Structure 1
């Protein structure tokens, strides 16, 4: 029978949840630091440039969190 190693699986789940929480918190802070609301600008006003900026910010923070967790 195959020996299932639960520690790496549990660590992956914990780090994934931690990364997602940190990403959401940093996006919330980014939303508070920018004038207006990102949701209104992106969804209602169809501001494509702001949507791209938000996506780039989320990717940058995700890369930093990933490097910090695995490094």
Structure 2
């Protein structure tokens, strides 16, 4: 019984790690193809609308990844 629970815990950790990697790659791709450096624009220029759009993007991609992993 304990081995079965360990299997599920390990699978959850692995899928969580995979989801975070996919999310970071997706963010990097969007940042790469946009004309401005998104992180620099948000942090240094304090561009609040861009920060909101970026947050919405990260939430949306996270939901898509979690749905794909969860099934």
TM-score, with length taken from structure 1: 0.93
2:8 paired with 1:8: yes
Shift of 1:24: 0.3
| 1:59 corresponding residue in structure 2 | 59
Q: CA deviation at 1:43?
A: 0.5
Q: TM-score, normalised by structure 2?
A: 0.93
Structure 1: state its 5+ residue gaps. none
How far did residue 39 of structure 1 move? 1.4
Q: Aligned equivalents of 1:70 and 1:40: distance in 2?
A: 34
Instruction: For residue 39 of structure 1, give the secondary structure of its aligned residue in structure 2.
Output: helix
**Greater helix proportion:** 2
- Structure 2 residue aligned with 1:22: 22
**In 2, Cα distance between equivalents of 1:41 and 1:6:** 43
Cα RMSD (Å) of the superposition? 0.7
